[in-house]
A and B are shown apart, each in its own frame.
Chain A
Amino acid sequence: MGKTISEKILSAHAGYAVKANDIAVVDVDLAYVQDGTGPLTVRQFKTMGFTAVPNASRRMIYLDHASPSPRRELSNDHKFLRDFARETGVILSEIGWGISHVVALEKYVNPGDVVVGADSHTCTGGALCAFATGMGSTDIAVAFGLGKTWLRCPETFKMRAEGRLPKGVYSKDLMLHFIGLIGAEGANYKAVEFSGSAIRALTMDARATMSNMAVECGAKVGLIGIDDVSLAWLKLHGRAPKQLPDLEPDRDAVYERVIEIDAEKLKPTLSCPHFVDNTRTIDDVERVRVDQVFLGTSTNGRIEDLRIAADILKGRTVKPGTRLIVTPGSREIYAQAAQEGLLQVFVDAGGVVTGPGCGACVGVHEGILGDGEVCVATQNRNFCGRMGNPNASIYLASPALAAATAIEGRIADPRDHVK
């Protein structure tokens, strides 16, 4: 019987043939934590009696959630993590260097890797066809100590999107549509393979948006096959693979479900408060007034996202009464955006550009919402309380819709603004 991508990767890492629903102990290629989950990882690592981190050059600590630290408790967490990195040789990604998942794609993830991270959006690595998944702090402490973890090999859903995305419609809209279609737990415990001509036409930045949000329909991994686009990305980032592992799903691979999407029919799509699967197209959303627009995150804080938004905002101004916050996803993106003049566009329009990191998404700092306020954000979650205030409302959308909204001061249709 043929194998899915997950079955191939996990078989290669277990050392024997693994099929869906088998539980296997597998070697971990890459493991990382961030500043919200890392301190507990380090405490658990020590409690379990581990002292050294084997393969430390493939283990990372990212200071991205509270970056720079807004409180002394978090400064002490950062200090604790820096000390651990120094003691063990684990790579430390400092404040302002970027979001774990964004930097991991830029620098570390390789096709066919098993990647585990103490952050649910670790699944972003699926954009480079890595079996990348989020776990808790103690699981990553074990991965740090042993270089191994246990995994249940998931059954796979194949999502096949065919056709060209219309003007003003992006991979974010495609992914929100998909999540709305199958629901927030539609793919719980499953793998999703994204395929079809609409996926192949996406840039790496746009693919990362898809894989990043795989967890929002419950999926363990969101995998995209390797092709010329991903190989060019790897080459650009100095790690063209000498030899690719076999990552093509077999023709007779068994899929639990196949979901077909006609990309041509998609419209700009939003997740309405307070659930990611509460999706509606722009035609069916009330154009409510918006207090804050937030552009950034591991979902849509990449250079292409900033270019799309800047293209719409160039020569325009943010509507009085509305504020715009732009948080680039990494140092590399920040520098590139500065060089291209994109940051200037945001500032000229009346927005604020913060240093790279998770920014306002996590509700820690840099854009906490006030009571009764409404935010349009390019992030992956709009749960009650997500941006630091349970009495606020969050809509999720593409960078283009966010930029259009900043100009109009109310939820806006990006198709009216895309040049």
Chain B
Amino acid sequence: MKLTGKAWKFGDGISTDHIAPGRLFHLRSNLPELAKHVLEDARADFAPNVKPGDFVVGGRNFGQGSSREHAPTIIKMAGVSAVLAKSVARIFYRNAINVGLPVIIMDTDRISEGDQIEVDLAEGVVLNRTQGTTHAIPPLPLTMRKILSDGGLVEHIKKHGGKLGLD
């Protein structure tokens, strides 16, 4: 499946407090409402204008901070097809796989705001249609590939009869 959309650029060190801030703590059991504010404190123009298929393009250490899984969940709920970043904080990365949000680690300096991006996860390629550049995605470790291809951890557990199918 090919993912296509435009690039929304973010800087280095985007934290979970930018993505799903504590001041909206009371919305954590109301994810559709929380998703309307996704990344609001980093870019106020993002949530109202993001289109299904678009990409969040970050810098270093994207998603640093809290373990709140609500952060990758609401990025996915906003219609974002993948996060592209130079590096990603450990817990955010794990959570993103668990909720079925692809995260691609790559040099994002060559992507500009609004570039048309196409990602082919099966082929492992990021194509920047605006710049005419391609980037090969290194394969994920098998454990994470299994969870992601099952559609996240919930679907993985269901598929494996209530167990972790990783042994």
**A contacts, CB < 8 Å to B:** 23, 25, 36-37, 39-40, 44, 47-50, 65-66, 71, 73-74, 76-77, 80, 117-120, 122, 134-139, 142, 145-146, 148-150, 152, 184-185, 188-189, 215, 218, 220, 275, 362-364, 368, 381, 383-390
How many angstroms between the C-alpha atoms of A189 and B91 in the bound complex?
Answer: 9
Question: Quick check: which of B1-9, B16-24, B112-120 contacts chain A, the rest being far away?
Answer: B16-24
For A138, give its contact among B13, B90, B153 (CB under 8 Å). B153
At the interface, yes or no: B70 with Cβ under 8 Å from chain A?
A: yes
Which chain B positions have C-beta within 8 A of A150?
143, 164, 166
The answer to whether B67 touches A384, judged by C-beta atoms less than 8 angstroms apart, is no
How many angstroms between the C-alpha atoms of A137 and B152 in the bound complex?
Answer: 13
Which chain A positions have C-beta within 8 A of B18?
383-385
1/0 per residue, CB under 8 A from A, across B150-167: the answer is 001110011000111011
Which chain B positions have C-beta within 8 A of A149?
164
Which chain A positions have C-beta within 8 A of B94?
135-136, 139
Which chain B positions have C-beta within 8 A of A77?
28-29
The answer to whether B61 touches A188, judged by C-beta atoms less than 8 angstroms apart, is yes
Chain B: CB-nearest residue to A69: B26
Chain A: CB-nearest residue to B60: A185
The answer to whether A74 touches B157, judged by C-beta atoms less than 8 angstroms apart, is no
For A120, give its contact among B25, B29, B65, B162 (CB under 8 Å). B65
The answer to whether A389 touches B23, judged by C-beta atoms less than 8 angstroms apart, is yes
For B21, give its contact among A48, A139, A275, A390 (CB under 8 Å). A390
Contacts beyond the supplied A119-B66, A188-B90, A383-B64: 15 A-B pairs with Cβ under 8 Å: A23-B141, A23-B143, A36-B25, A47-B154, A73-B26, A135-B91, A136-B94, A136-B98, A138-B99, A148-B164, A152-B143, A188-B61, A218-B61, A363-B17, A368-B23
The answer to whether A385 touches B23, judged by C-beta atoms less than 8 angstroms apart, is yes
The tally of CB-CB contacts under 8 A between chains A and B is 153
* Given contact pairs A37-B68, A37-B69, A73 touches B27 in the complex (Cβ within 8 A): yes
Which chain A positions have C-beta within 8 A of B98?
136, 138-139
The answer to whether B25 touches A275, judged by C-beta atoms less than 8 angstroms apart, is no
How far apart are B114's CB and chain A's nearest CB, in angstroms? 24
Interface centre among B18, B22, B25, B152 (most CB of A within 10 A): B22
For A185, give its contact among B66, B89, B143 (CB under 8 Å). B89
The answer to whether A136 touches B69, judged by C-beta atoms less than 8 angstroms apart, is yes
Which chain A positions have C-beta within 8 A of B17?
363, 381, 383-386
Chain B: CB-nearest residue to A23: B143
For B25, give its contact among A23, A44, A74, A136 (CB under 8 Å). A74
Q: Closest 5 A-B residue pairs measured CB to CB?
A: A363-B22, A136-B69, A136-B95, A73-B26, A185-B61
At the interface, yes or no: B128 with Cβ under 8 Å from chain A?
A: no
20 A-B residue pairings within 8 Å (CB atoms):
A25-B164, A37-B67, A40-B69, A48-B157, A50-B162, A65-B25, A118-B69, A120-B66, A138-B69, A138-B154, A146-B163, A146-B164, A149-B164, A150-B143, A185-B87, A218-B90, A220-B90, A381-B15, A381-B65, A384-B15
Which chain B positions have C-beta within 8 A of A76?
29
Which chain B positions have C-beta within 8 A of A184?
13, 61, 64
Chain B: CB-nearest residue to A66: B25
* Given contact pairs A185-B89, A383-B15, A363 touches B164 in the complex (Cβ within 8 A): no
At the interface, yes or no: B49 with Cβ under 8 Å from chain A?
A: no
Which chain A positions have C-beta within 8 A of B162?
48-50, 145-146
The answer to whether A142 touches B153, judged by C-beta atoms less than 8 angstroms apart, is yes
How many angstroms between the C-alpha atoms of A129 and B139 in the bound complex?
Answer: 33
The answer to whether A25 touches B90, judged by C-beta atoms less than 8 angstroms apart, is no
Chain B: CB-nearest residue to A358: B22
* Given contact pairs A136-B95, A188-B61, A383-B17, A362 touches B25 in the complex (Cβ within 8 A): yes
How many angstroms between the C-alpha atoms of A135 and B93 in the bound complex?
Answer: 10
* Given contact pairs A39-B29, A137-B69, A363 touches B21 in the complex (Cβ within 8 A): yes
* Given contact pairs A138-B99, A218-B61, A120 touches B30 in the complex (Cβ within 8 A): no
How far apart are B119's CB and chain A's nearest CB, in angstroms? 23
The answer to whether B61 touches A386, judged by C-beta atoms less than 8 angstroms apart, is no
The answer to whether A120 touches B70, judged by C-beta atoms less than 8 angstroms apart, is no
How many angstroms between the C-alpha atoms of A235 and B64 in the bound complex?
Answer: 36
How many angstroms between the C-alpha atoms of A316 and B163 in the bound complex?
Answer: 59
Which chain A positions have C-beta within 8 A of B142?
23
The answer to whether A364 touches B61, judged by C-beta atoms less than 8 angstroms apart, is no
How many angstroms between the C-alpha atoms of A12 and B94 in the bound complex?
Answer: 23
* Given contact pairs A142-B164, A184-B13, A36 touches B65 in the complex (Cβ within 8 A): no
